Structure 1
């Protein structure tokens, strides 16, 4: 984990240096390609992604924008976890939930997973704070769930005169709370932050404000920098995932949608990365085609056997069944 460097110009949180945001592959404008070339280009990328899925010994999978968007599952999410079996860890900058509460939420969406498969920024930040500052007066500016976790781990949780303040995604953050936190920091409290994200994708196509937005306000008001930021792209969550999986970084595949967090974090540990979504550096636009069958009769549309995937469709299904 490295010390925080402030910047409020990057679209997904603080800028981590130009070396961290180099695209994983040259961006290509698929819309500008002739139709036949575009279909072949997409098919080749899908095939390459399937080879990555088939060869990986473990999977580090992002949550928001990869498996879910708001309260909806992303296409291919269930199939990905089925393919991964027990060889995966969901690594998320979520700083509101614990693994137990998030597993319940995902179960209600139809995505069944166990708490031990989750590595969450908020939960790991609480554990790090208790370990690093034992016996200190700590204020949790985040969800009640994280405050309860801190207390359960033996933390001396307070509202007034804290020695350490942990900032997470606090949906009740207000002008009054900003005033209180800023002045406590100015009086000498130490600031830790669960994650640097300014926002994450919402189901309606908009954005949901994240911890990084609150952090920017606190820094601007208090003039105090965090001693550390726990979440991606920092290596702490990735290393914890590797520890749980018992796999080598070189054979573990990171799957996410954000080159500034998932991509940059993977590169720091020399891990392979599969980017999904609309970003120009994404390998594929969706997980769904990676698990589609190449048998036209299964799709119910015999007039369009290619559908953008050509002869390569269905390889991940076959790999998953081996």
Structure 2
């Protein structure tokens, strides 16, 4: 185990059960930590097995829902039950459903997120919606981008699942995230105002603490991005381990 302490984080070069063996709750990021472009790192399965039900996945993923992500991870040899997966996109939908039950929603997202929004009771439309939500829209076209910009320009209440510009690919190359789509909107509109409960907002980590019943002093967050993972750890007062991988997935 290689572990280096800084003023703000503990730096690790790979996942090792010894990093978290004294913690009652292990919050872990997904992309760049356990997987890259859907492929597991060589040390991920052993780490998950050692953590067992102490581990909760806390990710800014806004393409999947917990159930389908759990199934996809299992197909790759990683076991994380859907009940212990908190994703920014899905949890934003849950949050908005509580604030605005039955609302008219303009949703720019994957088909899986559209299905979840309908299940939660939203009426999906781009015609005079009550609010608009941007996730990592894998269906993005110029027509959809123009529609989104028109809604924002018209004053629609705008939410985004997360503000990450990118996540790391197999060779460390950037893979476009929701923040890159926000940048495109800014290029069109100059100013874009929005709300978000994705990392670094403390909502997801606080939800994990509440659901697990574990105190912050007994928890740790393992992530690769100090601007999001490190910030959310600081916001709720838990230890942060920054993972700085050098290799690529197995």
Q: TM-score, normalised by structure 1?
A: 0.70
1:73 aligns with 2:57: no
Shift of 1:88: 1.3
Q: How does 1:202-241 map to 2 (within 5 A)?
A: 202-223=169-190, 225-241=192-208
Separation in structure 2 between the aligned mates of residue 237 and residue 23 of structure 1, nearest angstrom: 24
Shift of 1:53: 1.3
Shift of 1:131: 1.6
Q: How does 1:124-203 map to 2 (within 5 A)?
A: 124-203=91-170
Specify the SS of the correspondent of 2:167. Answer: strand
For residue 264 of structure 1, what is the aligned residue in structure 2? 231
Specify the SS of the correspondent of 1:86. Answer: helix
Q: 1:52 to 1:106 in 2, by over 3 A?
A: closer
Q: C-alpha root-mean-square deviation of aligned residues, in Å?
A: 2.2
Q: Are the counterparts in 2 of residues 52 and 253 from structure 1 also a CA contact under 8 Å?
A: no
Q: Are the counterparts in 1 of residues 9 and 241 from structure 2 also a CA contact under 8 Å?
A: no
1:245 aligns with 2:212: yes
Q: 1:159 to 1:25 in 2, by over 3 A?
A: closer
Q: 1:157 to 1:224 in 2, by over 3 A?
A: farther
Separation in structure 1 between the aligned mates of residue 127 and residue 167 of structure 2, nearest angstrom: 31
For residue 24 of structure 1, what is the aligned residue in structure 2? 8
For residue 60 of structure 1, what is the aligned residue in structure 2? 27
For residue 221 of structure 2, what is the aligned residue in structure 1? 254
Shift of 1:71: 2.6
Specify the SS of the correspondent of 1:161. Answer: coil
Q: CA offsets, 1:188-247, max 9 Å, x none?
A: 211100011000011243121000110122233235534311211110010111122211
Which has the larger strand fraction? 2
Q: Are the counterparts in 2 of residues 183 and 222 from structure 1 also a CA contact under 8 Å?
A: no
Q: Are the counterparts in 1 of residues 9 and 239 from structure 2 also a CA contact under 8 Å?
A: no
Specify the SS of the correspondent of 1:192. Answer: strand
Separation in structure 1 between the aligned mates of residue 194 and residue 138 of structure 2, nearest angstrom: 23
Aligned residues: 241
Shift of 1:161: 2.2
Q: Are the counterparts in 2 of residues 254 and 273 from structure 1 also a CA contact under 8 Å?
A: yes
More displaced stretch, 145-154 vs 49-58: 49-58
Separation in structure 2 between the aligned mates of residue 226 and residue 129 of structure 1, nearest angstrom: 17
Q: Are the counterparts in 2 of residues 185 and 224 from structure 1 also a CA contact under 8 Å?
A: no
Shift of 1:104: 1.1
Q: 1:277 to 1:160 in 2, by over 3 A?
A: same
Q: Could you say which structure has the larger radius of gyration?
A: 1
Q: TM-score, normalised by structure 2?
A: 0.89
Q: Which ranges in structure 1 are unaligned for 5 or more consecutive residues? A: 1-21, 28-44, 279-284, 287-322
The one of 53, 62, 75 equivalent to 1:95 is 62
Separation in structure 1 between the aligned mates of residue 136 and residue 28 of structure 2, nearest angstrom: 21
Q: 1:95 to 1:25 in 2, by over 3 A?
A: closer
Separation in structure 2 between the aligned mates of residue 233 and residue 23 of structure 1, nearest angstrom: 19
